[in-house]
Copies of this chain bind each other. A is one copy, B any other.
Amino acid sequence: MNTSEVTQKGKAAKEASQKLALTSTKIKNEALARMADALDKNAKAIIDANSIDLQAGDKKGLSKALLDRLSIDGKRINGMIEGLNVVKSLPDPIGEVLSEWKRPNGLKIKKVRVPLGVIGIIYEARPNVTVDSAALCLKSGNAVILRGGSDAIQTNIEIAKTIADSAYLAGIPQGSIQLIHDTNRATAEELMKAREYVSVLIPRGGRGLIQTVVQKSQVPTIETGEGNCHAYVEKTADLKKAVEIVFNAKVSRPSVCNAIETLLVDEDIAADFLPMVKKKFDEAQVELRGCRKTLKILPGIKAASDEDWRTEFLGLILAIKVVAGVDEAIQHINRYGTLHSETIMTKDKKAAKKFQDEIDAAAVYVNASTRFTDGFEFGFGAEIGISTQKLHARGPMGLAELTSYKYLIAGNGQIRV
């Protein structure tokens, strides 16, 4: 029987992971430096490979947005290099003693941070994910299996070869960075079943991809990315500040998961606030869709459907709902939200506390934009994604979130009676 590419690379990654778990910070940092150098030196070959992907994509009729995400130039390579330098500068999480204690029988128990093992990343057509994931996994002592989309395969092959070869030259165990070359759907599905080799799968991409992985995978997964986020303007809010926050949360980068999709406004201030916010949004050509009460105040806009409350627009559309107060706002968010990021604008400490206590989300803000839900903005230095599940990690996932732990127990002959 032929061994499949996934099995073969899975085995190799698992073997490598056992050595990589014990590799020193010095070697890991040296590898990250060499990977950065190699990307720089190999930029032309990478851009050439990328142009093959771009031509194929163009022929295939990929959208402009997709082609843009796929394309690589000198500036984007510099971005990848910068990312490697950032990861190099971060403290190594491995070996950290999380806690230690002594039992009455004399056993000394130490809880120590260790890598997860082998991390599988299933992603689409953004080649920077290749470098970024490899760097974060390497620094956290994990081997990585990269399964990118077919549209970026030539680029990914060139990038993966560049960074893996240079990492191995620095002393990283051979096999620690694996790219699956066969981009047939079957290899992704095989990876989702590879419990023997893969400790965790992290899908990175659009909703369709993430839902497929989360539903089909037998390997433990971390659900990332979908953000149906809300801003709620409570009646005591500083309305001017609220306009700025709501505008920032919607418009500064509408295509990302921490942007808001729905604005909730207390009815007591809706007649004052909604025209203020509409003026600002009109300038940015944001399409507003309102509930019945909103339409009375802003008669020119479109009506919001129930579907709109559920939708992550990922573009310049905002749904607006007038609510009776903090209770209705919380109820709406806990019904339609995706456990990502939610914010309240208020001067009322009780309302703020209630909102933060009762909202079920990874990040709950008071008087700030939801756009801060991000590994860099949180001070983690980097992120591999934003978890919207509660198991293992929640919110922005940095290096620490790519680790597990083990208990080391020292005895002198203890037996259990």
Contacts and interface: CB of A to CB of B under 8 A. Distances in A.
A391 interface: yes
A18 B411 CA distance: 43
A361 B249 CA distance: 44
A59 B365 CA distance: 60
Copies in the complex: 2
A61 interface: no
A42 interface: no
A356 interface: yes
A408 interface: yes
B414 A368 contact: yes
Contacts of A107: 368, 372
Given A392-B391, A415-B252, A416-B248, A407 B371 contact: no
B334 A367 contact: no
A60 interface: no
Interface in A361-408: 361-369, 371-373, 377-379, 389-392, 394-395, 404-408
A199 interface: yes
A369 B414 contact: yes
A171 interface: no
A414 B334 contact: no
A411 B367 contact: yes
A391 B358 contact: no
**Chain A binding surface, main DSSP class:** mixed
Contact of A391 (B101, B199, B215): B199
Contact of A416 (B101, B377, B395, B408): B377
Contact of A362 (B215, B362, B406): B406
Given A215-B218, A406-B394, A409-B363, A415 B371 contact: yes
A32 interface: no
B252 A416 contact: yes
A73 interface: no
A367 B409 CA distance: 9
17 contacts: A18-B360, A103-B377, A103-B378, A107-B368, A117-B390, A252-B415, A360-B406, A361-B406, A364-B406, A365-B411, A367-B411, A368-B410, A369-B411, A369-B416, A372-B416, A390-B404, A394-B406
Interface of A: 18, 21-22, 101, 103, 107, 109, 116-117, 195, 199-200, 214-215, 218, 220-222, 238, 241, 244-245, 247-249, 252, 334, 352, 356-358, 360-369, 371-373, 377-379, 389-392, 394-395, 404-417
Pick the 8 closest A-B CB pairs, nearest first. A368-B411, A248-B415, A390-B404, A371-B416, A392-B392, A368-B414, A241-B413, A220-B391
